[in-house]
Amino acid sequence: MVAQTVYVKRRIPSRIAFLLTFVIGLTTPQLKNWDQKGSGTATNTPGNELPSGEIDPTRPFEFLIDADEFDWNGYTIAKEIRKHHEIIPEPNTPHYQTLDIAYIVLKRSGKLIRKFDANVIGEMGQSANFGFYSFLGPGSRQLFISQDTNRGGCQWVVSRPPELRVIFDGHKFGVGREGADLRVEDIDRDGTVEIIVPLTDFYDFQDKMSISEIPLPEIIFKFDAKQNEYLPANPSFKSYLKTDPLKAFYATKDDELSYRSATLNAMTFLIYRGEREQAWQMFDHYYRLPDKGEMQRRIKAILKDQPVYNFIYNNVISSSQTKTCRS
């Protein structure tokens, strides 16, 4: 049995794409220096005036281009496909299925420089796309790559040649969902946007709460000029991350599924803000369900190998950076 995987993302209407291409030619002369051969052309750039409702400038996903191959300052960005084989353990009728997995490669003179493949797999469809966005301030252009499936995915940002460095690596830090879920905002007003991306490790609690209520903690990545890389920075943005961690308890105390979700949501909010002692004190004081010990063990097991957690508290990236990203 061969499964054909299809993923459809929102396209920019052709009339808007034409307008944007024209505007780019007038307002961003640095794009003219790019070797833009291939089957696609850049369709947008942050900061341009756009019709209301068409483009969300805080979502780099909106700036992907419709191309399978693109020449970029002497490098070739290309979409490739590999086959993934797995056993489907259906009752009484286990069988193999083959999925097409799309990923992005960067080559020069035909030689592979870097492959962007976090092994994102999804039976409901999967895709890999790329585009350009100004992460490091007006006038800059970085390569944005997104490998997506339903409720899962990883993203990367690559600086422009000749430096050609991965300055944001969602796979390394174990973060990312669908590309449209990654957003940006210049929170500290320094001219360089912060990257805000969800963390999906707590999907493991689907047996304890509704999947629609599983917490997806937002991780803020700030560009570190010394390291030349985006790094987790939630503790540096406490004034931005304002909430009442106990508020949800009052509305969910009679619903065990929602109560667990509210507990985990409040805990992860505090933990990734750099306040793990307060998080565990809250858990010890307020959590009253009989599975308290189990919940504590499972939360700690996830955090033990979570790269963002280990970076915030130990300033290290754990070995789980190589784990499979899967919905």
Q: Any long-range contacts for 289-296 (C-beta under 8 Å, 24+ apart)?
A: 289/256, 289/259, 289/260, 291/208, 295/208, 295/260, 295/263, 295/264
pLDDT at 23: 32
Tell me if the bond preceding 162 is cis, omega within 30° of 0.
yes
Cα gap 202→217, rounded to integer Å: 9
pLDDT at 94: 66
Contact residues for 92 (Cβ-Cβ < 8 A; gap 6+): none
> Which has the closest alpha carbon to 63: 141, 177, 167?
141
pLDDT at 269: 93
In order along its 327 residues, the chain shows pLDDT tens digits of 333 333 333 333 333 333 333 333 333 222 222 333 333 333 343 333 334 457 899 999 999 999 999 999 999 999 999 988 877 777 777 677 888 899 999 999 999 999 999 999 877 779 999 999 999 998 889 999 999 998 899 999 999 888 899 999 999 999 999 999 999 999 999 999 999 999 999 999 999 999 999 999 999 999 999 999 999 999 999 888 776 666 665 555 668 888 899 899 999 999 999 999 999 999 998 888 999 999 999 999 999 999 999 999 998 765 444 333 333
> Which has the closest alpha carbon to 104: 61, 158, 147, 65?
147
Cα gap 168→227, rounded to integer Å: 11
pLDDT at 24: 33
Residue 192 and residue 135 in contact, taking contact as beta carbons nearer than 8 Å: yes
pLDDT at 324: 36
pLDDT at 288: 87
DSSP class of residue 230 equals E
pLDDT at 194: 98
Helix%, strand%, coil% for the chain, nearest 5: 30, 25, 45
CB atoms < 10 A from the CB of 60, how many? Answer: 27
pLDDT at 318: 54
Cα gap 314→297, rounded to integer Å: 20
The token duo for 144 is: 């944005």
pLDDT at 22: 30
pLDDT at 189: 95
Question: Residue 163 phi/psi, 5° resolution?
Answer: -70, -50
